[in-house]
Structure 1
Amino acid sequence: MIPAPQDCHESIIQLRNISFSYREQQVIKDLDFAVKERDFVGIVGSNGAGKTTLLRMIVGLLPATEGSVELFGQKVRKFRDWERIGYVPQKNAFNPLFPATVREVIMSGLYYRKNMFRRIGKEQQQKCDDALEVMRIQDIAHKRIGQLSGGQQQRVFLARALINRPDLLILDEPTKGIDSETQASFFELITHMHAHHNMTFLMVTHDLDMVNGYLGTSPVQQNGKIQFFVRHSHDIENCTKQDLQHSLV
């Protein structure tokens, strides 16, 4: 008997029997879901379905009422390698009057618990320069973040999330409040990153056209009002060492 093919991709996120209740109202119930290395997962659902709540549990900002969350094989409460994760929260969580330049906002992505007080050197400055170049925002590096358009701000926040070259990028409605032309440009950018970079994506969105166009028309799973659409980097049968050697360019 020929053995079944084994998945060569690491488990990035593992949700085991997750439930969450808020003021005696159950938002998420008995959710089991796995995100594998280099997956692109789109999370779709109506307002109040629990999409943002789920992301906040994954990044450790909210504890699950029941069940467990694992990141890269570790329980979230014990996970310490936060530089491996880039997180872009909803745009409305940002105060446009915050007195910081684009460069300062992007550089703030270098600070996490393990290096909170480490001096920023040439290597870190180069990482910022690289993020500015990738997002094509070098020319606005000196501007205050509140002076920018919505599309420009989202590019800055994405650059901030990318500065550590994370393995996992989590986006919470990244195009909310942005005009349709800028949305299309943004989606083109992140789908290009998924196709060519060794990175896993988890994104909450209301844009069904984008979801259906890139992730397919049928969700692979549904929990309550939340639907999960997934695009794998390749099928299990095509796992090879070469597939795992893609790197950021």
Structure 2
Amino acid sequence: MCAWAAPQPGCHRDIVTLNDVSFSFDGKPVLSHLSFRIQERDFIGLIGPNGAGKSTLLRLIVGLLTPDSGRIELFGAPADQFKERELIGYVPQKNNFNPLFPATVREVVMSGLFGRRKLFRRVTRQDADRCMDALRTMQIEDLADKRIGELSGGQQQRVFLARALISNPQLLILDEPMSGIDAETQQNFFHLIRHMHQKHNITFLMVSHDMEMVRSYLGEEPKETSGKLSFFVRHSHDLEDCAETDLLHTVRKEG
């Protein structure tokens, strides 16, 4: 169990718990007996070389992979029984789309509002406004009516960042979220997630190769290591909440 996992008086609830989790691919161990706990409003920066299992770990947490052994819990429930998937925003490292995929950018971003149980509900004006806010936040409002398959890789990444943010997730999992993104958008996005962590009830787990960003916000040294993985940790358990309920207000462009 990692050092930050020990329960403390007044600490927040557990968001992710991994207990003795192992995973192999084609018989080759990728993760071995990994245990750690992420509490509400933690920001975890995950660093490691290629092949260390960073993306595999994220895919295990979001349910795209199943561990060979061990137990994963999300918001206190066993991962295989967890139903509130809309509480989790996830941006994978790469998204490859068939150029003929029919969905528009607006439709892809809007889909982030709909869990499986809400898939067929009517789109409200508030939904449309939040979608436009998300598009503006990632500076892609001019792409709203283009098909996702027509975009460059960097443009697609901004679409999926907008999709992950639109539903106000309680857990945001980011796998190299700034891959292929221009410097200005990177700066805006880091400003956004720092504010979200400090002033909103959001828990973060992020893989990044940007060591300068990780160390500037999460500290120079990892709190824990497991194999080749290093976990940098920052807590925001006692900070004052922002009066705004709209997570996108920090970077919204004024007209």
Say yes or no: TM over 0.5.
yes
- TM-score normalized by structure 2? 0.83
| Cα distance, 1:151 vs structure 2 | 4.5
| Cα distance, 1:193 vs structure 2 | 2.5
Equivalent position SS for 1:53: helix
Q: Structure 2 matches for 1:111-126, cutoff 5 A?
A: 111-126=114-129
Are 1:222 and 2:244 counterparts?
no
CA distance, structure 1, for counterparts of residue 188 and residue 242 of structure 2 = 28
Are 1:144 and 2:147 counterparts?
yes
CA distance, structure 1, for counterparts of residue 236 and residue 243 of structure 2 = 11
| Cα distance, 1:118 vs structure 2 | 2.9
Q: 8 Å contact 2:172–2:204 — kept in the other structure?
A: yes
RMSD over equivalenced CA pairs, Å? 2.4
User: Which of 23, 26, 33 is the aligned partner of 1:23?
Assistant: 26
Number of residue pairs aligned between Structure 1 and Structure 2: 239
What's 2:83 paired with?
Answer: 80
User: Which of 184, 187, 191 is the aligned partner of 2:190?
Assistant: 187
| Cα distance, 1:70 vs structure 2 | 0.6
| Cα distance, 1:210 vs structure 2 | 1.2
Are 1:68 and 2:65 counterparts?
no
What's 2:14 paired with?
Answer: 11
CA distance, structure 2, for counterparts of residue 27 and residue 217 of structure 1 = 26
Unpaired runs of at least 5, structure 2:
1-6, 247-255
Residue 207 of structure 1 aligns to which amino acid in structure 2? D
- TM-score normalized by structure 1? 0.85
Q: 1:107-153, CA deviations, whole angstroms, 9 ceiling, x for partnerless residues?
A: 12233321233333334323323323444443432333345455543
Equivalent position SS for 2:63: coil
What's 1:132 paired with?
Answer: 135
What's 2:245 paired with?
Answer: 248
Q: 1:7-61, CA deviations, whole angstroms, 9 ceiling, x for partnerless residues?
A: 3311111111111112221111111111111111111111111111111110111
CA distance, structure 2, for counterparts of residue 115 and residue 243 of structure 1 = 32
What's 1:94 paired with?
Answer: 96
Residue 186 of structure 1 aligns to which amino acid in structure 2? F
| TM-aligned CA distance change 1:27 to 1:7, over 3 Å | farther
CA distance, structure 2, for counterparts of residue 216 and residue 176 of structure 1 = 22
CA distance, structure 1, for counterparts of residue 34 and residue 243 of structure 2 = 31
Q: Structure 2 matches for 1:158-237, cutoff 5 A?
A: 158-180=161-183, 182-234=185-237
CA distance, structure 2, for counterparts of residue 155 and residue 34 of structure 1 = 29
Are 1:32 and 2:14 counterparts?
no
> How high is the sequence identity, in percent, across the aligned residues?
56
CA distance, structure 2, for counterparts of residue 136 and residue 37 of structure 1 = 29
Q: 8 Å contact 2:91–2:174 — kept in the other structure?
A: yes
| TM-aligned CA distance change 1:183 to 1:149, over 3 Å | farther
CA distance, structure 2, for counterparts of residue 197 and residue 14 of structure 1 = 21
CA distance, structure 2, for counterparts of residue 124 and residue 74 of structure 1 = 29
Are 1:110 and 2:113 counterparts?
yes
Q: 8 Å contact 1:197–1:246 — kept in the other structure?
A: no
Are 1:46 and 2:49 counterparts?
yes
> Post-superposition, which runs of at least 4 consecutive aligned residues in structure 1 deviate over 6 A?
244-247
Residue 198 of structure 1 aligns to which amino acid in structure 2? N
Q: 8 Å contact 2:89–2:169 — kept in the other structure?
A: yes
Residue 170 of structure 1 aligns to which amino acid in structure 2? I
CA distance, structure 1, for counterparts of residue 13 and residue 243 of structure 2 = 14
